[in-house]
Chain A
Amino acid sequence: MGQQILNGVFVGSIYALFAVGYTLVFGVLDILNLAHQAVFMLSAFAALLLVSDAHLSLWAALPLAVVFGGLVGIALERLAFRPLRGRADSNISGLISSLAMATVFEAIALQIFGPDTSRFPQDTFPDRMIRIAGASASLLQLCIVGISVVLMALLTFLLARTRLGRQIRAVAESPRAARVLGIDIDRTIAMAFFLSSALGGAAGVLFGLAFNSISPDVGRSVELKGLAVIILGGMGSVPGAVIAGFALGIVEVFTVAHLGSSFRDAVSFAVLFLVLVARPRGLLGPAAAREA
Chain B
Amino acid sequence: MDLLLAYEGLFAFVGINGLLALSVYATLSCGQLSLANAGFMAIGAYTGALITLHSPGVPFLLVLLAAAAMPAVVAVPLGLPVLRLRGVFLAIATVGFGEVVRLVFVNWDYTNGALGLVAIPQRTKLWTIWLALAVALYLLGRLRGSRAGYALEAIREDETAASTMGIKTTAHKLLMLVLGAALAGLAGGLEAHYTFMVAPGGYAFGRVVDMLVQAVVGGTAAFFGPVVGAAFLTVLPELLREAGARLGFSPGPFRLFLNGAILLAVILYLPNGLVSLPRRLRRRRLA
Contact = CB atoms under 8 A, between A and B. Distances in A.
Contact of B259 (A103, A228, A231): A103
Interface string A248-282: 00000000000000100110011011001100100
A269 B99 contact: yes
A80 B264 contact: yes
Interface stretch (A104-112, A137-145, A149-157, A167-175): A104-112
A266 B100 contact: yes
Contacts of B97: 269, 273
Interface residues of A, number: 48
B263 interface: yes
B257 interface: yes
Nearest to B257: A107
Contacts of B175: none
B140 interface: no
Contact of A101 (B107, B213, B264): B264
A96 B257 contact: no
Contact of A97 (B93, B96, B264): B264
> Chain B's interface: helix, strand, loop or mixed, by majority?
helix
> Chain A's interface: helix, strand, loop or mixed, by majority?
helix
Interface stretch (A47-55, A87-95, A123-131): A87-95
Given A101-B260, A111-B249, A84 B33 contact: no
A104 B93 contact: no
Interface in A54-111: 79-80, 83-84, 87, 91-93, 95-97, 99-108, 110-111
Contact of B99 (A93, A265, A289, A290): A265
B257 A93 contact: no
B122 interface: no
B159 interface: yes
A24 B197 CA distance: 43
B241 interface: no
A231 to B, nearest CB: 6
Given A107-B253, A262-B107, A276 B271 contact: no
30 contacts: A32-B91, A91-B88, A92-B33, A92-B87, A93-B267, A97-B263, A97-B267, A100-B263, A100-B264, A102-B260, A105-B260, A107-B253, A110-B253, A111-B249, A111-B257, A220-B205, A227-B95, A227-B96, A228-B96, A231-B92, A235-B89, A262-B106, A266-B103, A269-B100, A273-B96, A273-B100, A276-B89, A276-B93, A280-B89, A291-B159
A160 interface: no
A177 interface: no
B160 interface: yes
Interface string B79-121: 0011011111101110111011001001100000000000000
A111 B261 CA distance: 15
Contacts of A289: 85-86, 89
B165 to A, nearest CB: 14
A83 B83 CA distance: 29
A158 interface: no
Given A92-B33, A101-B264, A111 B253 contact: yes
A277 B92 contact: no
A227 B100 CA distance: 14
